[in-house]
Amino acid sequence: MRQIGVIILLILSGFKLLSQTDIKQYIDTTHMWIGDQQNLNFESNQEIPLAEITTILDTLSWFQIIDKSPSTKNETGRYFCKIIFTVFDSGNYQIPNLLQSSEFNPNANYVEVRDVPDQKQELLAIKDIEETTAPSKLTLYIILASILALIMLGILWFFFRADRVKPGRVDYITPPKPYEIAIQKIKELESKKLWQRNELKEYYTDINFILREFISDGLNIPAKEHTSREIIHAIEESQEKPEHFDQLQSSLKMADYAKYANKFPDISEHQSQLEFVTEFIQKNIPLSNKILNDNQICWSNLLQANLANQFDNPLEIVPEILQNNISKDNTDLILISGLFSSERFELPETWVRIHRHKLGQLTRWHHNLLSQSKIKFISLILILICLPVIAIFLPVLAIVAYVNKESLFSRGLFLLTSKNKLVIDKSKL
């Protein structure tokens, strides 16, 4: 009966439809899955009667319209129309010649609808609940024991390393000489271009500071905190006068006028003042080197011979912090050379206190363990007993050290070379 209705609708609309020519009707594809969507397309040289087509398609029980677009005309004058449809039953279907076109192609309007793969696969039976055994705690214990063992090995490595300096770490860095520092500061002052920006007071203040610093550090004449008159008097009293002494006096007076009276020389002299300071420093480099060599403080001329020979390089310059903190009394400095072996040295008491102050917690404990007994076997037993305890509480110790702003693994100021000689850890200064 539904097919008869379709035929009747086609006959009733035949007058208008038959009047059209050059009509095409086709679908996107002849194969589709159930529930998929595709287009039913129309092309014509006349406007397409979408309402009549929709009425006919509604009579097809298998054909489900999803959406439709109105008839549109392109630049060539042809009309296009599109109907989106889907099918929910598998099978083979033929879309009729909706516009009664003589050019109707049945193959282009035939569609095969297939079931989605595995859609009709039978559901598997629900299995019964099976009891399983809880995971063994042995694995967890093995993991925890392995972590503990690794921590203990790390602590052992730390103890074995002891106070030994790392291979290749011994370096005797020569600090920059006063004339090198002064020349570098002159270059930095030139790059600022102060006098070009009319910042004359700051410019002459910087020149005066560079000059005074070189006189003080390079020529060993107090100048940083002294007046210009005192500096000139000290130079006159010194055994060796620097070159360009007369010009130096003028330069110091000019700097004083600029700093205290805001009186500045002519603009043509600003650059020449800096050039004079540069020339003064360069001309007096030999004198500066001679004075520094005569006044250089190394281990051998600061300490007694037996104490100086404890160092790997007795001629190394003593750091300023140790020069300024040397005591008359000496005391023992014990450095650990292995897991349970140590070396004993004698140094000024203040130096030993500085060394101990920089020790980390583990290093301090290592020293205390070795000091409990001079018998190596007993020291080894004590270390092996303490290792697990230290490993277990290591996170707590790290937190405590962080809160107290202390180091956990730090070594002291003095280290041991492979020849059991003393060297300074420059990073601790």
Asked if the structure places residue 9 within a domain, the reply is yes
Do 371 and 328 have their domain in common? yes
What lies within 8 Å, CB to CB, of 134 at 6+ separation is none
In a domain, 54, yes or no: yes
Of 114, 146, 166, which one is at a domain's C-terminal end?
Answer: 114
Q: How confident is the model at residue 1 (pLDDT cuts 50, 70, 90)?
A: very low
What is the predicted pLDDT for the residue at 348? Answer: 93
Tokens of 91: 């099978």
Q: Say if residue 340 is in the same domain as residue 279.
A: no
How crowded is the C-beta side of 20, counted as CA atoms within 13 Å?
24
Q: Does 255 share its domain with 322?
A: no
Give the integer Cα–Cα distance in Å for 409 and 151.
13
Confirm whether 120 is domain-assigned: no
Across the range 315-322, mean pLDDT stands at 85
Domain boundary among 58, 87, 114: 114
Please say if the pLDDT value at position 423 is more than 60: yes
Look-up of token digits 């008159």: 229
Q: For 240-262, how does the pLDDT look when each residue is reduced to its tens digit (9 = 90+)?
A: 788 887 888 888 888 888 878 78
Q: In this predicted structure, what is the pLDDT of residue 314?
A: 87
Q: Can you spell out the DSSP letters for 236-294?
A: HHSSSPPTTHHHHHHHHHHHHHHHHS-----GGGHHHHHHHHHHHHHHTHHHHHHHHHH
Do 409 and 360 share a structural domain? yes
- Same domain membership, residue 58 and residue 103: yes
Q: Rounded CA gap, 83 and 72, in Å?
A: 13
What integer pLDDT is reported at residue 337 of this predicted model? 72
* Residue 157 burial (CB count, 10 A): 10
Query: In terms of residue numbers, what domain contains 312?
Result: 299-428
CB atoms within 10 A of CB 201: 14
Same domain for 252 and 323, yes or no, is no
Of 106, 97, 65, 60, the residue nearest 82 (C-alpha):
65
In-domain check, residue 130:
no
Q: 142 lies in a domain?
A: no
Phi, psi angle pair for 361, to nearest 5°: -60, -45
**Does one domain contain both 96 and 66?**
yes
145's CB contacts (< 8 A; 6+ apart) are none
Inside any domain, residue 141: no
Residues 22 and 66 in one domain: yes
Q: State percent of the chain over pLDDT 90.
A: 8
Lowest mean pLDDT among 53-62, 382-391, 404-413: 382-391
| Residue 258 shares a structural domain with residue 333 | no
Strand duo 64-73 + 422-424: pairing: unpaired
User: What are the distances in angstroms from CA 245 to CA 50, 181, 251, 342?
Assistant: 111, 21, 10, 56
- One domain, residues 247 and 313: no
Residue 74 has pLDDT above 50, yes or no: yes
Q: Which of 169-173, 201-205, 384-388 has the lowest mean pLDDT?
A: 169-173
Residue 395 lies in a domain: yes
- Tell me what pLDDT residue 356 has: 84
Reference 170, options 418, 394, 429, 428; nearest CA is: 418
> Residue 13's pLDDT band (boundaries 50, 70, 90)?
very low
| Overall domain count for the chain | 3
From 283, 308, 326, give the residue that closes a domain.
283
Residues 6+ apart with CB under 8 A from 412: 163, 335, 355, 356, 358, 359, 363, 425, 428
Q: What predicted TM-score, i.e. pTM, was given to this entire model? A: 0.43
Same domain assignment for residues 311 and 217:
no
Residue 424 lies in a domain: yes
Choice between 132 and 146, residue whose per-residue pLDDT is larger: 146
Asked if the model's pLDDT at residue 163 lies above 70, the reply is no
**How does residue 350 score in pLDDT terms, banded at 50, 70 and 90?**
very high
Summarised one tens digit per residue, pLDDT across range 259-314 is 787 888 888 788 888 888 888 889 888 888 887 777 778 888 888 889 989 998 88
pLDDT, position 346: 92
Whether 242 and 189 share a structural domain? yes
Instruction: Identify the CATH number of the domain in which residue 102 sits.
Output: 2.60.40
